[in-house]
Amino acid sequence: MNKDRRAFLRNTSLATGLLLLQQPFRSLAATTGNATYLPGNNRALQIWHTNDMHGQVPRLRPSGDQGILLDAGDFLHGTANGNVHRETIDAMNRAGYHAATIGNRELAGGQAALAALIPHMQFALVNCNYQFTDKTLARQVLPYKIVYAGSLKVGITGVGPALPADSGVTFLPPVQAANDMAVRLKEEHGCHIVVCLSHLGFQQPEGVADNRDVAAGSTHIDWVVGGHQQKIIRTTMVLHNANQHEVYLSQSGANGSMIGSMKMLFDETRRRSGIEPGCIMA
């Protein structure tokens, strides 16, 4: 091989490597299975969240298009037809959602109706306490999603409420299911942070699990994003889990009225060192 040929190959390889480094991390996600890569600051993790949008996706984009965007369920309007649902999903795709959990409204039309919408979604549907008879849902609803923000590895799972018996969906105890998945994400996948999108409601009757139970009963969940009951938690609640470690609980406004915000701060060893909660009114 002559010198010119070697130089061409060397320079081409270098240019290709630089090009890959300069591409948005999101464009590499398809090559790594159930993971998405985003640019990020290794000392701060920005997460934006919504819940109970009921088809009304907020018409604003998080500042600078940075951070992870999540929804805690009931993003669809339960009585709308398929065309209206697709419009909602298109709006969520444009906004850049990375993951959403399944609320009761997503399943109001049955399993097959939700399964037909999945091909239109550019975000992951996550749930770890439902078992589906529909084969498409069983295959395409993920028990968890992993997002890399810089060098921070974020595991995202979700739980939903009990559904009518004729739904055909088997309901597993959500607190146990969420905690089991969080243990897996922390210990097997090495996630630095685990987020649970919990569509159980803020306060339920005795014996019915709610979002606070998910936080208090956990050992490895760091943050619960709540939904289902239309309650705004104006400042992030700091609770204690089963090991008496801090776990956060947030919930934003319903019907697209608000986007919640959480910035988690980390030290040089990637341990949490503080939070900066907030919101944006739509």
Partnered with residue 247 across adjacent β-strands are 239
Is the Cα dihedral 219, 224, 229, 232 positive or negative?
A: positive
Where does the chain have alpha helices with state H? 3-22, 82-95, 111-117, 135-140, 174-183, 211-216
53 occurs within a structural domain: yes
Q: Please list, in sequence order, all residues whose beta carbon lies within 8 angstroms of the beta carbon of residue 53, skipping any fewer than 6 positions away.
A: 71, 74, 75, 88, 254, 255, 256
Tokens 């709006």, residue?
Answer: 91
Q: Please list, in sequence order, all residues whose beta carbon lies within 8 angstroms of the beta carbon of residue 130, skipping any fewer than 6 positions away.
A: 102, 141, 160, 169, 170, 171, 172
Tokens 């289902």, residue?
Answer: 228
Domain that holds residue 67: 35-281
Backbone angles phi, psi at 158, to 5 degrees: -155, 155
Domain count, the chain: 1
Backbone angles phi, psi at 29, to 5 degrees: -60, -35
282 residues of the chain, pLDDT tens digit each: 444 444 433 333 333 332 332 333 333 333 356 889 988 778 899 999 999 999 999 977 665 557 999 999 999 998 888 899 999 999 999 999 999 999 999 999 999 999 999 999 999 999 999 999 999 999 999 999 999 998 899 999 999 999 999 999 999 999 999 999 999 999 999 999 999 999 999 989 999 999 999 999 999 999 999 999 877 777 788 999 999 999 999 999 899 998 999 999 999 888 888 898 888 887
Model pLDDT, residue 269: 85
- Domain CATH number, residue 251: 3.60.21.10
Residue among 274, 276, 245 at smallest CA distance from 179: 245
Task: Provide the whole-model pTM.
Answer: 0.86
Is the Cα dihedral 47, 179, 128, 79 positive or negative?
A: negative
10 occurs within a structural domain: no
103 occurs within a structural domain: yes
27 occurs within a structural domain: no
What pLDDT, in 10s, does the model give residues 52-97? 999 999 977 665 557 999 999 999 998 888 899 999 999 999 999 9
